Structure 1
Amino acid sequence: MRQLIAKRLLQTIPMLFFVSVVCFAMIKMAPGDPVLSFVTPAMHADDIERIRHNMGLDQPAIVQYWEWLKSCLTGNLGYSLINHQPVTEQILDRLPATAGLMGAAIGLAVLLSIPLGLLAGAYRNKWVDKLINFLSYIGISVPLFWLAILFIYFFAVKLHWLPSMGMRTIGTNSAWDVFKHGILPCLVLAFGFMPGYVRYIRSSTIGQLKEDYVQIQYAFGSTRMKILYRHVMKHVLLPVITLLGLSMADLVAGAIVTETIFSWPGIGSLGMTAARGMDYPVIMGITLFSSVMLILGNLAADLLYGIADPRIKQTR
């Protein structure tokens, strides 16, 4: 297992290098000039060039990339062009909010999709299956931003049950207040991933119910629910782990949209603010950090294979 982890971590080095090169090239080709955010109508051209020189933007692109890469290797992602604060500190300050939202959303999506997928597969073409499939089609078709706006309108504006934005109420410092603020963004983010999980689990359940061990359990007098949750669910876990690893990129993208709409103080909202202000160091830092999260998420999914199915561990 240690050799597998070490091998996968070594494989991340060229991947991160490739990601950094592509991201830096896209940023340099993007329209706009970050120096313009510091320019005033009365400013002289020499002052503008002095600002460009102090920011290091007058150097060739390859030199800028090399200087940035050397700083990254020491753990320094640079300084923001807007607030002049270290990028690493800003990301680490907002990491708990993003990690909590993503963890709660993915946990809720898995906990709800497993029983729904099992029921849909067990009662194939029955009214339960048709109802779950109908809700899944709606979830696949509805964009996250539109669903978030609907949730804000009904639960915050009309019913006044939950707060519509932010992570805390001003003057209130309690876990219950944070929990209430996180309900709507967590539900929106989880609902965006549940339909795919439900459909995947449903198809796996239908295939497992045709296996011989299920018929043997029926012969021993086991009930359908007992077979589903004691035997079939064990075999369904492997596809779920696969889906979790593949959906990490969509989870990060969904978190960016959700955090922006609900004003959740996470890495996603920080990235959107940096994109609007053309804050290149922050954009590069968030992109690199998100890539690390995706790679580690896929590594965790790979390791969970060995826990869910010991035969895979023995083969390795």
Structure 2
Amino acid sequence: MVRVIGRRLLQSVPMLLFISVVCFALIKFAPGDPVQAFVTPNMNPEDVERMRHSLGLDLPGYVQYLIWLKNVVIGNFGFSLINHRPVLAQIVERIPATAGLMGSSIVVALLLAIPLGMLAAANRNRWVDKLLNMISYIGISIPSFWFAMLLIYIFAIELHLLPSMGMRTIGMSSTWDILKHGILPCIVLSFSHISIYIRYIRSNTIGQLKEDYVQIQYAFGSTKRQILFRHVLKNVLLPIITLLGLSLPDLIAGAIITETVFSWPGMGSLGITAVFGFDYPIIMGITLFSSLLLIVGNLLADVLYSVVDPRIKVAK
């Protein structure tokens, strides 16, 4: 197992290198100039060029990339072009907020989707199944930013039940205050994944209910509830591990949109601010960390799958 993990980590190095090349090229081809953020109406062209030289933006694109790559290898992700703070420090500051939001949304999605998906399968083609299918189609179809604004209008503006932005109320540092601020972003981020997981669990449960071991349990006198939660559930949960790894890209993309709408102080809102400000070092740093998170997440999913399913161990 250790050799497999080490080999997967080594294989991720060229993938990260390729991602960094593509991202750097897209940044350079994109319209806009970060120097314009510092230009004033009274500034001479010589001062503008001097500033461009001090930032290293007058060098050829491939030279800029090689300099950036050399610094990253030694752990230096550079400084922000906007606030001149270290890129790594800003990302590390935002990781807990993003990790907390993504982690809570995954937990909520699984806790709701597993029983609801099995309930839909157990009541196939009945009103419960049709209702859950309709909710799932809605969750898959609606845009997350529209759903976020709808929740803000209902729960923050009309009902005044929950805060609409930020992670903390000014002057308050309680855990309950953080939880209240995180309820709406967590609902938005988890709703679409709940819908996907419900459909997936429903389909797998229906397939498992047709297997021979289910009929044998019926012959032994087991109830439908006992069969679902003692036998079928174990077989249904195995593919969910792989589905979690595959849903990480959508989860990160959704976190960027959700954090922007709710002004959640995570990596997503930092990345959007960097894009609008042409802050290239921040964009590259967040892209690299997001890619690394995806690779590690898929690796953990594969490892966990092999731990849970003994047949994979035997095959290896």
Deviation at 1:121, TM superposition (A): 1.2
Give the superposition deviation at 1:238. 1.7
2:208 paired residue number:
208
Give the secondary structure class of the aligned counterpart of 2:294.
helix
Alignment correspondent of 1:265: 265
What is the alpha-carbon distance in structure 1 between the residues aligned to residue 75 and residue 93 of structure 2?
Answer: 15
Deviation for aligned residue 1:120 = 1.0
Residues paired across the two proteins, number: 316
Letter in 1 for 2:176: W
Provide the TM-score with structure 1 as the length reference: 0.99
- Aligned to 1:248, the other structure's residue is in SS state helix
Residue segments in structure 1 that go unaligned for 5+ positions in a row? none
Displacement of 1:315 in angstroms is: 1.7
Shift in Å, 1:313: 2.0
Deviations 1:32-90 (A, max 9, x none): 00011111111111100000000000101110000000111111111000000000000
Alignment of 1:62-211 (within 5 A): 62-211=62-211
The 2-side partners of 1:263 and 1:22 are apart by 28
Deviation at 1:192, TM superposition (A): 1.8
Q: How far has the Cα of 1:287 moved from its partner?
A: 0.4
Indicate the larger mover: 290-299 or 220-229.
Answer: 220-229
Question: Does the 8 Å contact 1:237/1:308 carry over to 2?
Answer: no
Alignment of 1:219-258 (within 5 A): 219-258=219-258
Partner residue in 1 for 2:34 = 34
CA distance in 2, matches of 1:130, 1:307: 35
Shift of 1:314: 2.5
Distance 1:308 1:204 in 2: 17
CA distance in 2 between counterparts of 1:262 and 1:90 reads 19
Superposed CA RMSD: 0.7
CA distance in structure 2 between the aligned counterparts of 1:74 and 1:231, rounded to whole angstroms: 51
Structure 1 CA distance for aligned equivalents of residues 261 and 314 of structure 2: 46
TM-fit CA distance, 1:308: 2.0
Contact 1:109 1:193 survives alignment (8 Å): yes
Q: Runs of at least 4 residues of structure 1 off by over 6 A?
A: none
Give the structure 2 partner of residue 61 of structure 1: 61
> Structure 2 stretches of 5 or more lacking a match?
none
Q: Give distance in 2, aligned partners of 1:53 and 1:180.
A: 47
Q: Distance in 2 between matches of 1:41 and 1:160?
A: 45
Q: Structure 2: how far apart are the matches of 1:237 and 1:313?
A: 18
Tell me which amino acid in the other structure corresponds to 1:43.
Answer: M
Matches of 1:52 and 1:58, distance apart in 2 = 6
The amino acid that maps onto 2:21 is V
Normalising by structure 2, we get a TM-score of 0.99
> How far does residue 311 in structure 1 lie from its aligned partner after superposition?
1.5
Work out whether residues 200 and 239 of structure 1, in 8 Å CA contact, stay in contact via their aligned partners in 2: no
Q: Give distance in 1, aligned partners of 2:14 and 2:237.
A: 31
Q: Tell me, in whole angstroms, the C-alpha distance in 2 between the residues paired with 1:21 and 1:167.
A: 34
Q: How much has 1:122 moved relative to structure 2?
A: 1.5
| Kept after mapping to 2: 8 A contact 1:145/1:258 | yes
- How far residue 16 of structure 1 moved from its aligned partner, in angstroms, is 0.2
Q: Which stretch of structure 1 is more off in the superposition, 299-308 or 60-69?
A: 299-308
The percent identity for this pair of structures is 67
Deviation string 1:256-286 (CA, Å, 9 cap, x unpaired) is 0000000000000000000110101000100
Look up the match of 1:9. Answer: 9
